[in-house]
Amino acid sequence: MTSLLATEDLTIRFGGLTAVDGFCLKVHEGELFGLIGPNGAGKTTVFNMLTGVYLPSEGTVHCDGRLVNGMNPVQVARLGVSRTFQNIRLFDELSVLENAMTGAHQHSKINLFDSLFRTPRHYREEKRQRDIAYRLLEFMGLEDRAGLAAKQLPYGHRRKLEIARALATEPKLICLDEPAAGMNTGEKAELSALIRKIRDELKVTVLLIEHDMKLVMGICERIQVLDYGKTIALGTPKEIQNDPKVIEAYLGGE
């Protein structure tokens, strides 16, 4: 199997702190891959390096065979990597539908004059974006909220909208940063079904950070565990659950 995403000895330092240290990751195409670890382990920092937000101090990131580090977030997005944020970052003043439409912006081929002069290309582009956005809102179960301002959404829906927006970029890989945080049990069950559907129906590879062990163990095929920036385990959910180092990290860590 080919790996869609591969990192080699990825390291980043903030002053004296080595937040991620020699991190190697291989995510195969079509996989549902989990990245877990105690608080402050460096998981979000890995996402930031994967998406061009942080420049690694050392090491490389390859996606689809192309070198990613050195690219800015916009270029990484074009390459087909999208993500959500641990601390939700929606466009609050835009409507739910418009939020999802912004994901489709990057594939638009029109220029400013098309929109200012309302050419047929403008209307075609609006329709294209609206169709994609609606389809994904429907997919995430948000279609009857389309007209609300994003800031009016309750918490669980905000997380879902972020996923819809990321999917609207039509990515090959989606990185979800604690999508279940703050959700109740029912919402979590619904979410894990949705994440599976993202991979099975939309054929998008999923890289998932999540603290809820039941959710991660339930849906991921492989899991990698980070602690203090270093990989301490990699394997199937079963292997991870019984790994003494992982148990130690979680019990001794907090």
Positions that interact with another protein (CB under 8 A): 51, 53, 72-74, 76-78, 82-83, 85, 89-94, 98, 101-103, 105-106, 108, 110, 112, 115-120, 122, 125-126, 129, 147-149, 152, 165-166, 169
Closest approach of Cβ 17 to ligand ATP, in Å? 6
Positions 16 through 35 that interact with ligand ATP (CB under 6 A)? 17, 19
Rounded to an integer, what distance in angstroms lies between the CA atom of residue 222 and that of residue 113?
Answer: 48
Question: What single-letter DSSP state applies at residue 221?
Answer: S
Residue 211 makes contact with Mg ion by CB under 5 A: no
For residues 32 and 202, what is the distance between their CA atoms, to the nearest angstrom? 13
The residue (of 12 and 137) whose beta carbon lies closer to Mg ion is 12
Tell me which of another protein, ligand ATP, Mg ion, none is bound by residue 245, counting a contact when its beta carbon lies within the kind-specific cut-off of 5 to 8 angstroms. Answer: none
45 near ligand ATP (CB under 6 A): yes
Burial class (CB in 10 A: 0-12, 13-18, 19+), 161: buried
The only residue of 1, 16, 39, 109 in contact with ligand ATP, by rule CB under 6 A: 39
* Residue 44 binds to ligand ATP (criterion: CB under 6 A): yes
Residue 9 interaction partner, one of Mg ion, ligand ATP, another protein, none, beta carbon < 5-8 Å per kind:
none
Looking at beta carbons only, is 39 or 154 nearer to ligand ATP? 39
Pick from 34, 42, 52, 103: which binds ligand ATP (CB under 6 A)?
A: 42
| Residue (of 166, 163, 170, 169) closest to 193 by Cα position | 163
Structure tokens at 199: 């991979």
| Backbone torsions φ then ψ of 165, nearest 5 degrees | -65, -45
Residues with Cβ within 8 Å of 128's Cβ and at least 6 positions away in sequence, in order, are 104, 108
Task: Give least dist CB 38 to ligand ATP, A.
Answer: 7
Buried b (16+ CB within 10 A) or exposed e, 187-203: bbeebbebbeebbeeee
Does position 86 bind ligand ATP by CB under 6 A?
Answer: yes
Binders in 71-90 for Mg ion, by CB under 5 A: 86
Give kind and range of the element (H or E) at residue 82. strand 81-83
Binding of ligand ATP at residue 87 (CB under 6 A)?
A: no
**In 3-state terms, what secondary structure has residue 38?**
coil
- Compute the chain's Rg from CA coordinates: 19
Q: Which residues bind to Mg ion, rule: CB under 5 A? A: 44, 86
Q: Which residues bind to ligand ATP, rule: CB under 6 A? A: 14, 17, 19, 37, 39-45, 86
